[in-house]
Amino acid sequence: QSEEGWGTEVTLVIPTSIGITSALLIEDGGKTFAIPIDYVLETLKVPVSEVRRIHDRIGIYYRGSILPCEKLLNLLYQKERTCKLKNNGTSEVPIIVLKIRTGNFGILVDKLLKKTEIAIKPVPEVLSGIDIVSGVSIMGDGKVVLVLNPEKLV
């Protein structure tokens, strides 16, 4: 609201259905996703040679025990587990160590981007049947980012 000679008053109304939280932005398969920081125990960059086959899965030796891992895109698209990593020209692979109810789990991604504060909007009705998505966020550049639900993802 503006009034000449008096100034401008700006009122910002934020719906209660929007929550602000810290999240880790990651990239995999050319797409950006957010994981609430409350679930992130640690991020690592591990030499590809240390990612081992464990039965029908992959994993790493992590702090004295075996940490089961999986590629994010395999979890998202419910693809068959693969025990091989594609060599994308790097000698290290970023891993997010998640702390979930059933224990720790590692997710392999292409890139770790940054930790940031995001406004999480409820999932649109079109995506409401997908339980691995807990919300969406619109970044400053207008890009829509899916906020993942680690409990359902793993």
Integer Cα distance of 69 and 86 in angstroms: 15
Contact present, 25 and 114 (Cβ < 8 Å): yes
- Confidence class of residue 18 from pLDDT cuts 50, 70 and 90? low
Give the single-character DSSP code of 18: -
Which of 1-5, 10-14, 75-79, 121-125 has the largest mean confidence? 1-5
Residue 70's pLDDT is what?
A: 92
CA separation for the pair 24, 34 (Å, rounded): 6
Model confidence over 131-145: pLDDT tens digits? 888 888 988 888 989
Q: Where are the beta strands (DSSP E) in the chain?
A: 2-3, 7-8, 19-28, 31-36, 40-47, 52-54, 57-62, 65-71, 92-100, 103-108, 111-120, 133-138, 144-148
Q: Which residue, among 115, 48, 35, 44, has the nearest Cα to 75 in the 3D structure? A: 35
